[in-house]
Every structure is written in C-alpha cells, then in structure tokens.
Amino acid sequence: MLTKWVGRLIGINVALYMLGYLPGTGQLLNNFVLVPGAEFLVRPWTLVTYAFLHGGFMHLLFNMIGLFFFGPRLEDRLGSRSFLQLYAWGVIGGAVFHFLPLILGSAVPPVIGASGAIYGIVICFAMLWPRERIYLWMVVPVPAWLLASVLVFGALFAGITAQSGSNVAHLAHFGGALCAGVYLRTLRLKYQAKQRQYKAIVKDTKDILTKMTASEVEYWSKVDLDTLHAVNREEVERLLAKARQGDRILTGTEVETLRRLALQLKT
C-alpha cells in the first residue's frame, strides 16, 4: 500500500516524465538538470530538481520500483516528515558526490534521476531490517544487508574506476546512500538519547519523596507482620520504621513497595 509521500513522489516523477513528451517542453525541463560547474551557480535549484527528471523509461521504471517496494515501510516506520527529509538527504548527497571529480579536475557530465535517493532508501531499509529477504527478479532471495552492501560498494568501486564520460552517475548513487544512511543513524541516536532521558526522568520520579496516607499508616498498624515472608517482613519493618521517623515520608519506590505488598495481603 502506498504511503503519502511515496505516492506523491512517484506521481511527480511520472508526471514530469510524461511532460517531457509534450512539444516545446524539452528546453523548459533542461533548466532543471544538474550541470556541475559554473552553470550550477546560476541554477542552484537544480541541486534538488535533477532528481525528478529521468533520461528514459527504464531509468524511471527501476527507480520507481525501488521507491514502491522499499519506501512505504520506511515511511511508516519513520513518519512522513522524517521520510521526506531522508529522501532529500539522498537527493542532495547524490548531487554533492557527483561534483567530487571536479576537485581532481575531471570533467563531470550533467546528471538527472532519483537513483541517489533510491539507493539511500534501500540502504536505510537494510539498516532497519537487515535480515529481511528481498527477492531479486521475484525469484532469488537475498537478505537486505547483502543487497545494500553490494549496491553501496559496487557504486563506490564503479565511481572510482569509471572512465571519463560514463553516462552512469555512480558517485551520485554512493553519495545518496551514504548521506541517507548518516541521516538515519542521526535519527536513531537522537531517539536513543530521548529514551535515555525519559528513563532518567522516570527513575528520578520514583525517587521523589512521597508521603504515606493516614489510611495506609493505619492499615499497616493492624497487619500482623509475622504473616509475611521473612524477606518481605524485614523490608516492611524497615520502611515503617523509616516512615515513623520522617513523618510518613518515603520515596515513591518505597511507597509503591508497601502498596504492592498490601495488595498481595488483601487478595
């Protein structure tokens, strides 16, 4: 089932591909192609828009298949906002890595396509569900971690060894995967930090001093402590003695212990 942003992204990509067949639209769409170098400086929006254009039907098809199969579960897990941000990281990361050969003085061709973002989605899927079986060509089962590893290292190797003039943006694929993976890792670290903070708050809450009610004090004054297990009896005697010394003041955890034991005695 398509999720909100997966459906929208597929719709936008397909619509723009179909738009390219209308007379007079070719030159218009060229304004959204990412061209590394000086031309990028006057068309900075192409850092994002290049990912919504495709050079052919098969290019579009394979990218949308990847988005269709891997995207919905990822969006369900992360939420629509975080999923869209992850997709954007893949798009922008792909563009930045496509620029890298310029540093070495190599020629870099224009680039279009959502492949960097799709690589990012596949890698993030594998990070969350590494042992999930993916059926290549609907027949060959491979674990998600293996598929992701082959894609990432294959793209990196191809990007390093590719001859000048290659029409496949291997480094864009690698960059999209890497940046989306880093984003997901950052999300997970933030979530873990919040979990630790929450647990600390809960722990602190349990340690907040709490006053026993008068009815609780009266109840325990009537209980024959000899009916308790020796371990429980010693704990109850200790807590009641502490409560008497401190005007019925105990920690939240200690009060809960007395209430739990009282409930056991009543049942």
Distance CA(59)–CA(168), nearest Å, equals 11
pLDDT at 54 > cutoff 80: yes
pLDDT at 12 > cutoff 90: yes
Mean pLDDT of the chain: 85
- Mean pLDDT within 1-6: 89
What pLDDT digit, counting tens, does each position of 111-133 carry? 999 999 999 999 999 999 999 89
What pLDDT digit, counting tens, does each position of 130-180 carry? 998 988 877 888 999 999 999 999 989 888 887 655 667 889 999 999 999
> 4-200, superfamily in CATH?
Rhomboid-like (1.20.1540.10)
Each domain of the chain, given as residue ranges in start order, spans 4-200, 209-266
pLDDT at position 189 is 85
Distance CA(109)–CA(34), nearest Å, equals 9
Q: Rounded to 10 degrees, what is the CA torsion of 190, 195, 199, 204?
A: 30
What pLDDT digit, counting tens, does each position of 76-91 carry? 988 899 999 999 999 9
Secondary structure of the chain in HEC code, one letter for each residue:
CCCHHHHHHHHHHHHHHHHCCCCCCHHHHHCCCECCCHHHHHCCCHHHHHHHCCCCHHHHHHHHHHHHHHHHHHHHHHCHHHHHHHHHHHHHHHHHHHHHHHHHCCCCCCECCCHHHHHHHHHHHHHHCCCCEEEECCCEEEEHHHHHHHHHHHHHHHHHHCCCCCCCCHHHHHHHHHHHHHHHHHHHHHHHHHHHHHHHHHHHHHCCEEECCHHHHHHHHHCCHHHCCHHHHHHHHHHHHHHHHCCCEEEHHHHHHHHHHHHHHHC
Please say whether the beta carbons of 250 and 239 come within 8 A: yes
Positions marked catalytic: 115, 173
